[in-house]
Amino acid sequence: MECKRCGICCEKGGPILHHEDRSFLQKNLVSLDQLRVIRRGESAFNPFTDRVEPAEVEMIKLAAGTGTSWECPFHQKNGALSGCTIHGDRPMECRVLKCWDTRAIEAVVFKDCLTRSDLLGADNLLLGEILAHEERCAYGAVWLSIEGLKGNSRGVCLAEIQAVLSEDMQIRARLVAQYELTLVQELFYLGQLMFRVVKDSTLTISFNNEEVQVRYTG
């Protein structure tokens, strides 16, 4: 079998980047503004389970297209056929993907992924801030507190969740002001706003008057 250039895989989103893709990045085909981070523990689609669940590792991926589209920014439609504007230099996941035989892509998913530390380097002024944010606003701690809502320490767990989500907002506000970050830069350096990612059927999470509010609705 061979690719029929239907474009379905390209329309589902940009690829995750791996260490093998350093040469792709060195050609300056994309800028940091065109990349997004999926933080460890952030909700993301797992192709093995076909579910959205916490990511086991940090990942960097090509940003989606315009608006609400998940389409890869390098996908180009030409009538009934689809093409890639950087086909000769496309990332590794794109090279190994065969929709009729997924063994090759399954062998690399979530493995040897590039991280923000890999791309920024030790001398980047923001790297220390990013690592501190990662430690103080860890998704793992939030998921544990949500699990704890089932026990007898509901008030403590709610306070822990609200504290982490609030600190995420405070750190973002400080870094955006201090380093004059654009929205796309913020999304690369710090990932999605946590209060928008954390979802649970027992919670109502909102952002009002510059404060995150978490309520248990059971």
User: What does the pLDDT look like over 168-213, one tens digit per residue?
Assistant: 999 999 999 999 999 989 999 999 999 999 999 999 999 887 789 9
Nearest-10 Cα torsion for 131, 135, 141, 142: -50
Q: Which of 96, 14, 110, 19 lies closest to 59, judged by CA?
A: 110
The dihedrals phi and psi of 200, each to the nearest 5 degrees, come to -160, 140
Q: The pTM is what?
A: 0.88
Longest CA–CA separation in the chain, Å:
60
Domains in the chain: boundaries: 8-116, 121-216
**103: Cβ–Cβ under 8 A, 6 or more apart, which residues?**
none
Partners of 96 in the β-ladder? none
Q: Does 66 have pLDDT greater than 70?
A: no
Give the pLDDT score at 169: 95
Q: How confident is the model at residue 144 (pLDDT cuts 50, 70, 90)?
A: very high
Q: Tell me the pLDDT band of 67, cut-offs 50, 70 and 90.
A: low
